[in-house]
Amino acid sequence: MVVNPAKQDDLDGLRRTVTETLTAAGWPEPAWYTTSVDDPGQGQARRAIEAGAEVVFVCGGDGTVMSCVGALVGTDVAMAILPAGTGNLLAANLGLSTDLAAGLEVALERGRRRIDVGTCGDQYFTVMAGMGFDAQMLEATSETTKAKVGWPAYVMGAARHLRDRPMRVSIRIDDEPPRRRRARTVLVANVGRLQGGVRLLADAEPDDGYLDVAVLTPRTLQHWLSLGWAVLRRRRRVPRMEVLRGRRVTITSNRAQPRELDGDVIPAGRSLKVSVRPDALWLCVPQPAVEPDLSVDADAVAERGERRVEEAR
């Protein structure tokens, strides 16, 4: 169990519930590792793997998940997510409940799915990488505000940068000729949902071996409103948004731009170079009856998990 203590109000209660639930199901008592500012998860997950773990539970936000992925990629060890952050984007995209009991139940059912991950230098991401407006929004959103109001805090951060000037970018997909655009943001996605459950890229799948690229080019407030309305209405054609797809993506700007990976801001730079690593990560997901069905009833899963917790107690 790799846990971010900053995301927990009752660490002792979490430990008691997890241990009792797993023990009641016949699983061994888990080893516990807490993250720190200096090591937000990768070192702890690596030590768990070296100690012989077959499943690493990750209890934290998107940053904790991303850090642990760095140790789990390319191994046969599965990651079980117990979401405890603001966005919980990977969990939301894969139909994973934020309920603790449901999260434990998913792991105990032994449903597994192998997914792709994105690479950026020596870092990995499971949701998306971005350059421009999206990173500006994240940078402008305080942790205090997120803790108070949740994901709507990002809307407040976004409002501060709606009128910023666009960036001139060159976008190269695989071996295709570069495309030149005046964009507000370029997102390279492994999955399609954003904060608040908003579906930006309808065709993005985490196990198709590709990355989907969204190039957003709004220039006025009216453009932003039209774009946002089309996304919220789940329309296939979204104004001021171009969608591309490939295995390798290089974005180069005329000036240094804010950048982010899975919601964590990384140092600004003039380029963002990412690629997909197919089938790189085992993830615990709801057990399908016949075929994978990510629309599994989260309430039913939560109820079964709660029963296990009660039995353990």
Digit-by-digit pLDDT tens for the chain (313 residues) are 999 999 888 999 999 999 999 999 999 999 999 999 999 999 999 999 999 999 999 999 999 999 999 999 999 999 999 998 777 889 989 888 889 999 999 999 989 999 999 999 999 999 999 999 999 988 887 777 766 776 677 677 777 778 788 999 999 999 999 999 999 999 999 999 987 778 899 899 999 999 999 999 999 989 989 998 899 888 888 999 999 999 999 999 999 999 999 989 999 999 999 999 999 999 999 876 555 455 445 555 556 555 555 654 5
Label each residue of 1-41 as H, E or C. CEECHHHCCCHHHHHHHHHHHHHHCCCCCCCCEECCCCCCC
- pLDDT tens digits, one per residue of 275-302: 999 999 999 998 765 554 554 455 555 5
Residue 121 placed within a domain: no
Residues 269 and 290 in one domain: no
Clarify whether residues 138 and 79 are in a common domain.
no
User: Which residues have CB under 8 Å from 152's CB, separation 6+?
Assistant: 196
Question: Looking at the structure, do residues 268 and 291 belong to the same domain, yes or no?
Answer: no
Statement to judge: residues 133 and 270 lie in one domain: yes
Q: Are 180 and 244 in a shared domain?
A: yes
* Structural domain boundaries enclosing 195: 127-274
User: Do residues 40 and 162 share a domain?
Assistant: no
Inside any domain, residue 158 = yes
pLDDT on residue 313 = 53
172 in the same domain as 95: no
Do residues 258 and 294 share a domain? Answer: no
Residue 122 lies in a domain: no
What's the number of domains the chain is made of? 2
Phi–psi pair at 267, nearest 5 degrees: -55, 140
Q: Is residue 154 part of a domain?
A: yes
pLDDT-above-70 percentage for the chain: 89
